Structure 1
Amino acid sequence: MNLYTVERAQNDLLMRVRSRLNSRIAAKVLKSIEAAKGPLPGHLKAQADAYAADVLGSKSYAPWLYVYSAIAGEFREGWIPDNYYMSVVLPAIEGRYGGLSDMRSMTARVFGHGKEIPDRGYVVKGRLYDASLEPVSSFEEFTNHIFSGVEKVAFKADASDRGRGVKILDRDRFMQTAVGLPDGVIQPFIDQHEAFAQVASRSVGTLRMTTVIEPDGQITTRDAYMRFGRDTDDHVFSESNIRVLLDTATGVFSPIGYSVDWLEIDRHPDSGFVFAGNQVPNYAACLEAVERLHRRIPMVPSIGWDLTVDQDGSVQVLEWNSGHNDIKFSEATSGPCFTGLGWEHLGRSRAEVPVTG
């Protein structure tokens, strides 16, 4: 057995474990929705079971289809369950390229240090680099560089997600903790646009967008939604965030948002900001930026982007995710978002179907 075969077997095992855990998360989400809306009708569950088994290749993919159906009030063919996306779609379409975004310093090499990339510096193997990956000789010089014109910075560790591995630091805290920082990126703490600050002022509101490579090779944006923090958070955490669906073409807010428990709300629970009638500022520039940047790395067919708009309307790309970008919220609230890409057929073509979770 060669190293590639061993690596593939290990990855398959890891994906199976994640799929089982993912199914348990789906069951918890469904329980929350059913507590508010009532039990999922049996005929919708039966449709989800049949679609998971007959089209996707395993009934183990049904739990997220239950969640989607409970949110939508109907079953829709073409939905991509979250555990199917993670365990089947991403490995099939991205392969080893899926791990590129876990290494934050790769941003400088892939996308350059353009106007939308706010990276100030990187920590790599204990060494300090500026945004162009030029080494910085002294810690004092590095500190002065990353804090130039700003009072706080955000440090994001490699391979971190869901808001974990993120530290918001002022100069004193940075100097106290920098020696023990793992590999990662340092960005200025963005002074966000007033349109976002009205919703949640303490943390930076982030726009989630997913771009894909179409069968004809064009790059398009398939989903978009906003994530806002709570008053107790200095940055957005997946465990507490408020999500608001957007019109993908225009950036207009849906009148309905969702709590972390997937329950419908019409305003932010802390600020009281009403979602209806609002829009992402300079949204057209956000669309243009992510689609243009995706063209620089065409070997990655699906990318999830975290970006924001600063106080003067400039687009700031905070993060890109090639290997674990989340699609389940958009699929549940406005999907299917990824029809025409052939993703639903990938499970049937796999030589080994994941075990039932």
Structure 2
Amino acid sequence: MLRTITATKASARTTPGSVQPNRLISSYERLQYRFNEYLRHRVIWRGYRKLLLAMVDIGSLPFGGGWTEAMQSDATTHLERFNLPTSSVLWHRAFHAANGLYDSRYISEPLFFSHIEPSLSQRSRIGKYFDKNFYGRLQITDEPLVLARVVGGRLAGADLKLIDVSRLCALVKPWPEVVVKPALDSGGGNGIHFIESGNIVAMLAQLKRNGVSDLVIQAPICQCTELAELNNNSVNTLRVLTLRFGKNVVNLSTVLRIGRAGARVDNLASGGLSVGVTSEGKLKAHAYDHHFVRYERHPENGTVFLNHVVPSYTEAVTRCIDAHTSIPDVDLISWDVAVNADRVPVIIELNMNLQGIGLHQLSNGPLFGKLTDGVHERFPYRPKRS
């Protein structure tokens, strides 16, 4: 009798059309996938479109009236070729309105952030690289001078060995001012503090009360005179974008970010400017702000951008490419690099999530250039089901 019941149950598990646990899981996964797709299309696409229209007055830009039906048709055809949403054409139009350069290969922000970046820098892989306190393990040795750290709420030296408050005070004492930044997130210049070394203990106590438990305390960077001429209030940094495509790591695009008068940081989100850098390490003719407004010279000090030299540019790019080769599971990385008073490139941080692309395309054209078709083919937007 027991055998009969067991056999009956066994046969029921294999009866065609019966609801099985693995099928329930598959149904749930399909439902979750569809819901995520809904969020991606409705929230991300609409959100970025609304943001672009709020930030950029396309009609008022230098080439805002130059958009033609032929451009519209060509850009749409390119997008349809790869089954991409044709609403991306809005970004083609915005970039052209700002820089006068039409190209069907521009990448829209919602397409990049919802699909391309997660494909090249997978969310499940990048978390372990975020903590600035452990950059040394990534073979990133060309970082700013680290004086001390806070790791999980505990004081530590540059070597990650625990220290006490008196030792911290001794480490920062030689520096009139130190830089305190979050170890896990300082995107857009958020959370970065420039404080007198004598106030370090009080500052750390305040940050601890605010729930910040991971910090890096660094000596300030003294930048080279060439970059200080552009704005001496901020450390003006290169944003180097590298891509692993196949077995090789290449530099896709580089821009120089420049602060405005009175600003201590150079981020566009904080009002800064961005200007393209040529392969020879010279600035291009125009810088742009986050409203896509362009400038031929710095609006406060009048420094002309065209052909302004970035010292040690080739070395800076080479260091980023070399560092990227030691990160095998992430294919797209943005690097922030300063050039110090000795003209030595210093890698300040790396970015793998929400990497800004507008600054690159405004100055240097389509993000992936001649690799654009290959990227779309490698990561199809809506792969057909077999």
- TM-score normalised to the size of structure 2? 0.80
* Cα deviation, residue 261, structure 1: 2.3
Indicate how the Cα distance of structure 1 residues 237 and 143 shifts in structure 2: closer, same or farther if over 3 A, else same.
Answer: farther
What residue identity is the alignment partner of 2:311?
Answer: P
Q: Distance in 2 between matches of 1:218 and 1:19?
A: 32
Q: What does residue range 247-266 of structure 1 map to in structure 2 within 5 Å?
A: 247=278, 249-266=279-296
Structure-2 residue corresponding to 1:246 = 277
Indicate how the Cα distance of structure 1 residues 31 and 115 shifts in structure 2: closer, same or farther if over 3 A, else same.
Answer: closer
Q: Determine which structure has more spread, i.e. the larger CA radius of gyration.
A: 2
1:70 is the counterpart of 2:101: no
Q: Distance in 2 between matches of 1:7 and 1:138?
A: 49
Structure-2 residue corresponding to 1:27 = 53
* Cα deviation, residue 298, structure 1: 1.9
Q: Distance in 2 between matches of 1:212 and 1:225?
A: 15
Whose relative contact order is higher, 1 or 2, with alpha carbons under 8 Å and at least 6 apart? 1
Identity %: 21
1:79 is the counterpart of 2:111: no
What residue identity is the alignment partner of 1:122?
Answer: R
1:344 is the counterpart of 2:376: yes
Q: Distance in 1 between matches of 2:382 and 2:39?
A: 20
| Alignment equivalent of 1:39, drawn from 38, 59, 65 | 65
* Cα deviation, residue 296, structure 1: 1.0
Instruction: Give 3-state SS (helix, strand or coil) of 1:227's partner.
Output: strand
Q: How many residues align?
A: 346
Q: Contact (CA 8 Å) 1:155, 1:166: kept in 2 or not?
A: yes
* Cα deviation, residue 87, structure 1: 1.0
* Cα deviation, residue 285, structure 1: 1.5
Q: Mean alpha-carbon deviation: is it higher for 78-87 or for 115-124?
A: 115-124
1:97 is the counterpart of 2:122: no
Query: Which digits, 9 at most, give the CA deviation of each residue in 1:49-71, with x for residues without a partner?
Result: 44334425213433322222323
Q: What does residue range 143-154 of structure 1 map to in structure 2 within 5 Å?
A: 143-145=169-171, 147=172, 149-154=174-179
Structure-2 residue corresponding to 1:110 = 138
* Cα deviation, residue 166, structure 1: 1.5
* Cα deviation, residue 323, structure 1: 1.8
Instruction: Give 3-state SS (helix, strand or coil) of 2:300's partner.
Output: coil
Query: Which digits, 9 at most, give the CA deviation of each residue in 1:230-286, with x for residues without a partner?
Result: 112122232300111110x22111122223322221111111111123110111221
Q: Contact (CA 8 Å) 2:144, 2:219: kept in 1 or not?
A: no
- TM-score normalised to the size of structure 1? 0.86
| Alignment equivalent of 1:331, drawn from 361, 366, 372 | 361
Q: Contact (CA 8 Å) 2:268, 2:289: kept in 1 or not?
A: no
Q: What does residue range 1-357 of structure 1 map to in structure 2 within 5 Å?
A: 15-16=40-41, 17-32=43-58, 34-39=60-65, 41-43=67-69, 44-95=71-122, 96-112=124-140, 114-132=141-159, 134-145=160-171, 147=172, 149-157=174-182, 158-181=184-207, 182=212, 183-215=214-246, 217-239=247-269, 240-247=271-278, 249-338=279-368, 339-340=370-371, 342-345=374-377, 346-350=379-383
Structure-1 residue corresponding to 2:5 = none
Indicate how the Cα distance of structure 1 residues 204 and 9 shifts in structure 2: closer, same or farther if over 3 A, else same.
Answer: farther
Q: Which runs of 5+ in 2 are unaligned?
A: 1-24
Q: Distance in 2 between matches of 1:12 and 1:186?
A: 41
Query: Which digits, 9 at most, give the CA deviation of each residue in 1:271-309, with x for residues without a partner?
Result: 111112311011122122111111111211011011111
* Cα deviation, residue 109, structure 1: 2.1
Q: Distance in 1 between matches of 2:78 and 2:206?
A: 49
